[in-house]
Amino acid sequence: MRTCYYKEDFLYPESRVHFHVFKYDFPDLHDHDYWEFFIIGSGESAHIREDKTQSLVEGDACLVHPWDKHKFVSGSDKYSQINFMITDEYFRELLNVISPDLYDRIVQTKYPITYKLNSNMLQEFYQNVHLLQTIDENDIENFVNLNKCIWFDIIKIVYRNNIHANHDYPDWLNDFLYLIRQPENISKSIAELCSFTFFSYSHLTRLFKQYTGETLNDYLVTLRLNYSAMLLRTTDTSILSISSAIGYDSLSHFMQMFKKRFEMTPKEYRKAYFCKPTSLKEKNNSKKAPPPAH
């Protein structure tokens, strides 16, 4: 096994960041003294760690710890991969801008963290790579600054996926929790959400209760009502549309469930807590803070 060192791999080691675009395998088991975020640009690959093999396809991305031992074996002639690299010290600095404990939370993950990028995100990374490739070789400042912007995009992805992650949960459960929070999925039934796992309805609901301590149905109700409350506070979307967006076909049932949780109707809640732009609202110093989530 080999170790890759940033002082050898980075074009400007003093910049503490670098990138590569590969179109071939990296079949040797290796680790690094830096963090790596790689994206499958096209084709597919077997990402092989010491005790786990993962099949990755276009749009899959992975954050690799410096100590992770891994290798790649592509399964396509049209394979391509983009790698962004950053020193451990610099990665910690950037993460601290977001949260002082985010670095420690990411370090605690046992395996490299995998993400799904949509076509727009993938295209933006390609555009940034193209910009990096057109920077003058002596213009280190812009090279570093653009790489820093890219790493903030990566950190945004990492944070968005990590915010609800629980390191005591298995990977499949954290992935599932992330997927059911997406706007396009938040109104789906449990039967539909089962398709995000390899489990049957009964097996999924049983495992969910085992790991989280609450039923999947209760979790979804809380998630949807909290989401509806945020929409009432931050948008002018109609109450009927909000009800539909979170999967309640019956407006009266939504209002009943909402009042049970927040002790006021959606209309009363919006009147009390809706944040209008300053130019459109009267000053009201006595306005209450939003009630805490239960």
State if pTM tops 0.75.
Answer: no
d(CA 118, CA 59): 6
Query: Residue 258: pLDDT above 60?
Result: yes
Q: What percent of the chain has pLDDT over 90?
A: 60
Q: Strand 26-32's sheet: what is its strand order?
A: 2-4, 26-32, 70-74, 44-49, 53-57
| pLDDT tens sequence across 37-67 | 999 999 998 888 877 888 889 999 999 999 9
Between residues 52 and 68, which one has the greater pLDDT? 68
Return the closest-CA partner of residue 225 out of 174, 187, 173: 187
- pLDDT of 294: 52
Query: Residue 284: pLDDT above 60?
Result: no
Averaged confidence pLDDT in the chain? 88
Reported confidence tier of residue 288, pLDDT bands at 50, 70, 90: low
d(CA 129, CA 255): 49
| pLDDT tens sequence across 207-237 | 999 999 999 999 999 999 999 999 999 999 9
- pLDDT of 253: 96
User: Between 266-273 and 251-262, two packed helices, what is the crossing angle to 10 degrees?
Assistant: 50
Reported confidence tier of residue 281, pLDDT bands at 50, 70, 90: very low
Which tokens go with 141? 């400042």
3-state secondary structure of 27: strand
Query: Residue 293: pLDDT above 70?
Result: no
List of E strands, the chain: 2-4, 17-22, 26-32, 34-42, 44-49, 53-57, 60-64, 70-74, 80-87, 113-116
Kindly report the backbone phi and psi dihedral angles of residue 34, in degrees, each rounded to the nearest multiple of 5, phi listed first: -145, 165
